[in-house]
Amino acid sequence: MPPGGDSCANNRMSIFLPLAVSLLPLGLTPPLAFLIGRGYLNFGGGCKDMSLTLPRSGWSIPYAVASLLGWRRGLSMGRAGAWATPWGSRAVPALLAD
């Protein structure tokens, strides 16, 4: 056994954490839509509050892909997230353009 413990478990954890951080915005979008739809979250727009979830889901998919690509290129999680934020932000106007 290596001195640092089980290297297979460490490798799984090092893969799980960036994956979880990358997919967190996408995973939180359905609960956000549920809470807005049931009226637990109210932003003062009535039914238009549900329109907040469309740009969020449109942003979170390219963010997840770009942050995972940045992480695979060897960037730290913080730098990969900072690198992925503009990619996700550029996708929202493209999705809502037509």
Q: How confident is the model at residue 8 (pLDDT cuts 50, 70, 90)?
A: low
Range of the domain at 80: 7-96
pTM higher than 0.95, yes or no? no
User: Rounded to 10 degrees, what is the CA torsion of 25, 37, 92, 22?
Assistant: 10
Say whether pLDDT at 7 is over 80.
Answer: no
Residues 68-91: tens digit of each pLDDT: 888 888 888 888 888 888 887 787
Judge whether 13 lies within some domain: yes
DSSP assignment of 3-37, as one string? TTS-HHHHHHHHHHHHHHHHHHHHHHHHHHHHHHH
Say whether pLDDT at 1 is over 50.
Answer: no
Number of domains in the chain: 1
Q: How confident is the model at residue 98 (pLDDT cuts 50, 70, 90)?
A: low
Which is higher by pLDDT, 59 or 5?
Answer: 59
Longest Cα pair distance anywhere in the chain, in angstroms? 59
Judge whether 2 lies within some domain: no
